[in-house]
Amino acid sequence: MKTEKIPMLMGVVLIILLAFLIVWKADIMGVSGSRLEQDARDKQNVQSNWELVQAINEDICAMLFYDENRQEYVYSVYLTREGISYGYFFAEGGSDSHMTEKVKGIAFENKGIVLLSLNQDNICKVVTGSDAGQETILVEPAKPFALVLPVDCSEIVMYDAQDNIVTLYDTE
């Protein structure tokens, strides 16, 4: 009777192994929210002593890593996927020379807008929306920032510490 159960047990183990391989190859398992920083550091070879600013919501995680002198930096953006999937998936990253002096804006269709900057313009607030309904997001002047804005924010206006309007460099 024991010898009859061994093939059945082997069959169950084989089915579980095949199911695991299918899920792994289908690329439906992303990175959990708690592991995003470590995954980005590993994928982009970010040093452990670099600072991090990040913004995250249910669809997007934006991270900006930088050294203490703000001479070197790298950004990472992760997105969730529609349908059957779990976690966040790497969407883009690297460095962009315009982030040093300006604000980089990246729009992700149906997900939201990411703003990244080392903040040499001393931006202190970002106002989104229209006159009917505005939201003000305070940013610490002279400190790098990452923001995730909703896809339906109709207008984005940024102000520096002297209340001058700062233009957005780039929206992809």
Q: What gap in Å lies between CA 117 and CA 165, rounded to an integer?
A: 15
110 and 88 assigned to the same domain: yes
Parts of the chain with a pLDDT under 70? 1-3, 19-29, 85, 130-132, 169-172
- Count of domains in the chain? 2
pLDDT at 110: 85
Which of 82, 23, 32 is closest to 56 using CA atoms?
Answer: 32
63 and 12 assigned to the same domain: no
pLDDT at 18: 74
2 and 66 assigned to the same domain: no
pLDDT at 66: 95
Residues 139, 142, 146, 149, Cα dihedral to 10° = 40
93 and 160 assigned to the same domain: yes
**Domain residue limits at 7:** 1-28
Element at 19 (helix H, strand E): helix 2-25
Q: What pTM was computed for the model? A: 0.80
50 and 134 assigned to the same domain: yes
24 and 41 assigned to the same domain: no
17 and 60 assigned to the same domain: no
CA distances from 160 to 70, 73, 90, 134, 143 (A): 19, 22, 31, 18, 12
CA gyration radius, the chain: 21
3-state class (DSSP) for residue 69: coil
20 and 40 assigned to the same domain: no
7 and 41 assigned to the same domain: no
91 and 106 assigned to the same domain: yes
pLDDT per residue over 108-122, tens digit each? 888 999 999 999 889
Element at 23 (helix H, strand E): helix 2-25
